[in-house]
């Protein structure tokens, strides 16, 4: 009996640990790590020239004392991460090639190529700098006095977390598992790393921890009072500032009138969002549909913000009702492609916003977030695109598209939660028992979610003593469920199947 019990426990624990995955991809050809000379007052080389065939990569500058600034390009092929996966962490791992040119302080910026599948580098002048880059970047301050041993490849040679860059790439419309990624480094100081030419085994590595997105949510504006426009102050404003355009059959993004006349703030609200607390948001977009094309004005770009509330109310016609709402300090920039939105009824990639996952994540991370809460987003900027409103066409109203993962295990202290987690029977017919062992007294909450991420039941929430605890879950609805055991704020998730 005991033998069978421990086998069951081992199987369940292995499932919990297996969801988060790690991949390591290394530069694997001489043309996938190159250097390009950048302009600067201390540059003695030909600006734009590519240093092909070099046995090393100087990060920051080619020559000690901040002489000959350069851009280092790194390309990694076969990055096997599924689209919309949640990136838990990512970094570049270098190996020390030499130490005699080290220059402090050495501070670098890391950027990523804005491409679904970047091609390899070549020695054509400006080949690295002319490639399009994501707007975002990551700062890496290399510890002073480090990189003192040739061959070292430890924490000091590891970049800061670049997960936000990788996340932006794997949530692109054109991302496919197995595509390539390219990163670029530039800055001050100098550290000398191995290149593929110098040592194939010491070439830079890209190490990524990720979890495939387990669920998706699509919500749509579902009431006339959940998408409204408010006139903003500006030199070209002919309307009354603060007034709301209630009952409009469309939503003009940017300005109400062509040629940047009558700037306005658009608010959209989404109710009953079935996103569980603790979810990790990998991708979130606003999806619009074209209402009309005759007022299109380029360039059209908007900033997207989120109301800092998890229970935002529907909009009213009270002046300044949208702009007076408190918002998160963060925002997301969306540059709408020029000459786009040319066909009424379009609702594809061009009508889909930039990734607003970081705004959604901040809301889901709030202590008062609960599955079923609402979110409000606002858009303001320049130019003009005309989208459907709920009043004009309910089926074409704005949608919020979200992909997320539920991290499978965050409890890593066996002194608190032992490996004795079991669901018996599993699969089950009518009911099952969820059991776990606490090594010491702890605050515990046990939740059950369905496969759409909706909270089904809270089985327990209390401070529990050390020992084995068992709780029963019953349901008549067949399907996949997840039991989430939260111990002192950290969580373990176990999959259950109702036949």
**What pLDDT was estimated at residue 453?**
65
Structural tokens at position 155: 């924490």
Stated pTM of the model: 0.77
DSSP string for residues in 249-315: SEEEEEEEETTTEEEEEEEEEEEEE---TT-EEEEEEEE--EEEEEEEEEEEEEEEEEBS-SSPPPP
State the pLDDT at residue 407: 64
Question: How far is Cα 495 from Cα 11, in angstroms, rounded to an integer?
Answer: 12
Burial class (CB in 10 A: 0-12, 13-18, 19+), 96: buried
How many C-alpha atoms does 220 have within 13 Å on its Cβ side?
11
Check residue 211 and give its pLDDT. 85
User: b/e per residue, 6-21, with b = 16+ CB within 10 A?
Assistant: eebbeebbebbeebbe
Pairwise CA distance, residues 157 & 160, whole Å: 10
DSSP 3-state of 4: helix
Provide the pLDDT for residue 408.
Answer: 53
The answer to whether 253 touches 290, Cβ cutoff 8 Å, is no
Question: Which residue spans within 114-249 are E strands per DSSP?
Answer: 138-142, 181-194, 205-211, 215-220, 227-231
Report helix, strand or coil for 63: strand
Non-local (6+) Cβ contacts of 180 within 8 A are: 75, 76, 77, 78, 79, 117, 118, 119
Query: Are 54 and 197 contacting, i.e. CB atoms less than 8 angstroms apart?
Result: yes
Tell me the average confidence (pLDDT) per consecutive run of 10 residues in the chain, 499 residues long: 28 37 95 98 98 95 98 97 92 98 98 98 97 96 98 97 96 95 98 98 96 86 98 97 96 98 98 88 97 98 98 97 98 97 98 97 94 96 98 98 73 45 88 87 85 81 89 92 78 83
Angstrom distances, CA of residue 307 to CA of 33, 220, 294, 331, 354: 43, 17, 31, 11, 17
Compute φ and ψ for 155, nearest 5 degrees: -60, -35
**Model pLDDT, residue 483:** 85
How far from 322 is each of 267, 304, 313, 327, 370, CA to CA, in Å? 6, 13, 11, 10, 23
pLDDT score at 315: 98
The structure tokens listed for 5 are: 């019990």
Q: Is the omega angle on the peptide bond into residue 97 within 30 degrees of 0, that is, cis?
A: no
Of 433, 414, 337, the closest CA to residue 383 belongs to 337
C-beta neighbour count of 367 within 10 angstroms: 6
CA 268 to CA 283: how far, in whole Å? 18
Backbone angles phi, psi at 396, to 5 degrees: -105, 5
* Residues β-bridged to residue 229: 266
Q: For residues 430 and 490, give the distance between their C-alpha atoms in angstroms, rounded to a whole number.
A: 29
Place of tokens 């040679």: 157
Residues 56, 94 contacting (CB under 8 angstroms): no
What b/e sequence results for 304-340 when a residue is b if at least 16 CB atoms lie within 10 Å of its CB, and e otherwise?
Answer: bbbbebbebebbeeeeebbbebebeeebbebebeeeb
Structure tokens belonging to residue 253: 């993004």
Residue 470: Cβ-neighbour burial (10 angstroms; 0-12, 13-18, 19+): exposed
What does the alpha-carbon distance between residue 242 and residue 443 come to, in Å, rounded to a whole number?
47
Amino acid 276: pLDDT: 82
Helix-strand-coil split of the chain, %, nearest 5: 10, 45, 40
**Which pLDDT value is given to residue 16?**
33
Query: What's the DSSP call for residue 428?
Result: B
- Output the pLDDT for position 302: 98
Q: Residue 382: which of 256, 288, 287, 286 has the closest Cα?
A: 256
pLDDT at position 492: 76
């Amino acid at each position: 009996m005991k033998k069978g019990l421990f086998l069951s426990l081992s199987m369940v624990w292995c499932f919990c640990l297996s969801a988060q995955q790690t991949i390591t991809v290394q530069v694997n050809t001489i043309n996938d790590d190159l250097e390009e000379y950048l302009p600067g007052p201390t540059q003695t080389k030909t600006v734009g020239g590519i240093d092909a065939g070099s046995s090393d990569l100087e990060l920051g500058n080619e020559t000690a004392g901040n002489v000959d600034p350069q851009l280092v390009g790194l390309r990694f092929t076969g990055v096997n991460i599924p689209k919309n996966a949640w990136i838990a962490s990512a970094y570049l791992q270098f190996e020390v090639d030499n130490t005699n040119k080290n220059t402090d302080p050495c501070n670098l910026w890391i950027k990523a190529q804005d491409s679904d599948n970047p091609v390899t580098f070549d020695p054509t002048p400006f080949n690295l700098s002319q490639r399009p880059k994501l707007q975002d970047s990551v700062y890496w301050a290399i510890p002073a006095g480090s990189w003192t041993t040739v061959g070292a490849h430890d924490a000091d040679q590891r970049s800061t977390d670049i997960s936000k860059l990788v996340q932006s790439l794997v949530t692109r419309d054109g991302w496919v598992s197995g595509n390539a990624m390219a990163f670029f480094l530039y800055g001050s100081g100098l550290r000398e790393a191995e290149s593929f030419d110098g040592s194939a085994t010491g070439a830079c590595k890209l190490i990524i921890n990720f979890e495939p997105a387990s669920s998706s949510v699509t919500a749509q504006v579902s009431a006339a009072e959940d998408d409204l426009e408010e006139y903003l102050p500006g030199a070209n404003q002919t309307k009354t500032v603060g007034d709301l355009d209630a009952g409009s059959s469309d939503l003009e993004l940017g300005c109400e009138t062509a040629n940047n006349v009558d700037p306005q703030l658009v608010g959209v609200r989404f109710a009953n969002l079935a996103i569980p607390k603790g979810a990790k948001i990998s991708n979130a977009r606003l999806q619009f549909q074209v209402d009309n094309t005759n007022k299109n004005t380029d360039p059209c770009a908007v900033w997207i913000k989120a109301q800092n509330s998890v229970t935002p109310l529907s909009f009213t016609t009270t002046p300044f009702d949208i702009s007076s709402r408190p918002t998160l300090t963060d925002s997301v920039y969306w540059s709408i492609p020029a000459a786009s939105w040319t066909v009424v009824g379009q609702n594809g990639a061009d009508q889909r916003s930039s990734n607003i996952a970081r705004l959604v994540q901040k809301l889901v991370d709030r202590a008062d977030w609960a599955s079923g809460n609402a979110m409000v987003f606002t858009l303001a900027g320049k130019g003009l695109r005309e989208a459907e409103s709920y009043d004009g066409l309910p089926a074409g109203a704005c949608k919020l598209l979200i992909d997320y993962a539920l991290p499978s295990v965050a409890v890593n202290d066996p002194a608190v939660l032992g490996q004795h987690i079991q669901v018996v029977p599993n699969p089950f017919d009518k009911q099952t028992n969820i059991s776990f062992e606490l090594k010491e007294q702890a605050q515990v909450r046990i939740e059950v979610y369905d496969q759409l991420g909706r909270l089904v039941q809270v089985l327990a929430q209390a401070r529990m003593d050390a020992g084995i605890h068992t709780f029963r879950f019953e349901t008549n609805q067949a399907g996949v469920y997840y039991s989430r055991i939260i111990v002192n704020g950290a969580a373990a998730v176990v999959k259950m199947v109702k036949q």
